[in-house]
Amino acid sequence: MRRFFTTSLLLLAVACTAPTSPETAANGVRAENETGAQLGRPATRVVAPRPAPRTIPLGGWGGDHLRLLLTETEGTLEYDCAHGTIDEPFVVDSAGRFVLRGTHTREHGGPIRRDEKPDEHPARYTGATDGKTMTLSVKLTDSNESVGIFTLTRGRPGRVVRCL
For residue 150, which phi and psi values (nearest 5 degrees)?
-125, 145
Same domain, 43 and 58: no
User: Is the pLDDT assigned to residue 104 strictly greater than 80?
Assistant: yes
The answer to whether residue 159 scores a pLDDT higher than 80 is: yes
**Considering the domain boundaries, does residue 159 fall inside one?**
no
Please check whether residues 42 and 72 belong to one and the same domain: no
Kindly state whether residues 111 and 139 are assigned to the same domain. yes
Q: How confident is the model at residue 2 (pLDDT cuts 50, 70, 90)?
A: low
Residue 161 has pLDDT above 80, yes or no: yes
**For position 139, what pLDDT does the model report?**
98
Both 32 and 71 in one domain: the answer is: no
Do 38 and 76 sit in the same domain of this protein?
no
Residues 43 and 113 in one domain: no
Residue type, 83: H
pLDDT at 111: 81
| Beta bridge mates, 101 | 124
Is 147 inside any structural domain? Answer: yes
Report the DSSP pairing between strands 75-79 and 59-63. Answer: unpaired
Question: Can you give the residue range of the structural domain that contains 127?
Answer: 54-154
The predicted structure's pLDDT at residue 87: 97
Same domain, 21 and 63: no
Total domains present in the chain: 2
109 within a domain of the structure (yes/no): yes
Q: Give the pLDDT score at 44.
A: 72
pTM: 0.66
4-62 confidence digits (pLDDT tens): 555 555 555 555 555 555 554 455 555 555 555 555 666 677 766 666 667 778 899 99
CA atoms of 67 and 78, how far apart (whole Å): 5
pLDDT for position 164: 75
Q: Express each pLDDT in 50-99 by its tens digit.
A: 666 677 788 999 999 999 999 999 999 999 999 999 999 999 999 999 99
> Domain for residue 3, yes or no?
yes
